[in-house]
Amino acid sequence: MVLYVIGLGLADEKDITVKGLEAVKTCERVYLEAYTSILTVPKERLEALYERPVVIADREMVESEADEILRDADKINVAFLVVGDPFGATTHTDLVMRAKELSIPVIPIHNASIMNAVGCCGLQLYNYGQTISIVFFTDSWRPDSFYDKIKQNRAIGLHTLCLLDIKVKEQSIENMARGRKIYEPPRYMTVNQAVEQLIDIEETRQEGVYTKDTIAVGLARVGCPDQTIIAGTLEELVTADFGGPLHSLVIAGHMHFLEADLVRTYAVNPETFNRHAVILDH
């Protein structure tokens, strides 16, 4: 028997592949990982199509109760569903390693993720450098390690995909310290918040890696019918309306003129875009 690690794609229950759906229907237990990303539909929609009950697997379950997920997977089929692609988040490799240590066969079934679907904004995938994550700042914690990766990417003209923080079933420091199982409301970082933090870090570091006039592209709900793409300077994106989650951001590097032609169609102001974009003529 086998542990299936199945990518669900980006939007709703219908984004699963035919191969993935067929695998789910052979499984006695089905888990949905629910902390590295989200779908736009409730689990009941998945259950109706997949014809299986779906157990929500939060971070605590995946990291602390992996044995329960893997229970009897050497005798029955078990599915672990992941929004996007199974290996889009490095945390899932731990579950795979645990299964292998127990001699449980693992079959991944791949799907679209933001790592490849981001190409919809017009910036070509082979022109991207290192991907970064931007987390919510707090009063006492303002990590800026991503800044150096953006610097490296921009030094050689590459685009930077920024994955934005989500907080699902998180505890406050006080509740965690007191051992109280009280969770904060879910929070999803917006493009606007990410840009504000980027500008704040530049003002602190002052290394000129980017400015308020640097061209970037914000994306929201990629793969959904109401997908939104807006391009502009970082300053313009601070006030742009992207709607609900999930959001992503791309800091543009040097653009081939064909890239620029498509990205310009999403620009807040094409004249501002032309003035500040770095466009190659070959």
Report the C-alpha gap between 169 and 263 in whole angstroms.
36
Residue by residue, DSSP assigns 179-215 as T----PPPEE--HHHHHHHHHHHHHHH-S-S--TT-E
Closest CA to 85 of 69, 63, 108, 105: 108
Is 88 annotated as ligand-binding? Answer: yes
Is 222 annotated as ligand-binding? Answer: yes
Is 262 annotated as ligand-binding? Answer: no
Report the C-alpha gap between 22 and 14 in whole angstroms.
13
Report the C-alpha gap between 132 and 162 in whole angstroms.
5
What phi, psi does 238 have (nearest 5°)?
A: -55, -35
Is 7 annotated as ligand-binding? Answer: no
For residue 52, the SS3 value is coil
Report the C-alpha gap between 36 and 168 in whole angstroms.
9
Is 219 annotated as ligand-binding? Answer: no
Is 247 annotated as ligand-binding? Answer: yes
Is 85 annotated as ligand-binding? Answer: yes
Q: Any idea what DSSP says for residue 96?
A: H
Report the C-alpha gap between 240 and 269 in whole angstroms.
12
Closest CA to 170 of 156, 189, 184, 181: 184
Is 144 annotated as ligand-binding? Answer: no
Q: Which residues are annotated as a binding site?
A: 10, 85, 88, 113-114, 164, 222, 247
Q: Which residues are annotated as a binding site for S-adenosyl-L-methionine?
A: 10, 85, 88, 113-114, 164, 222, 247
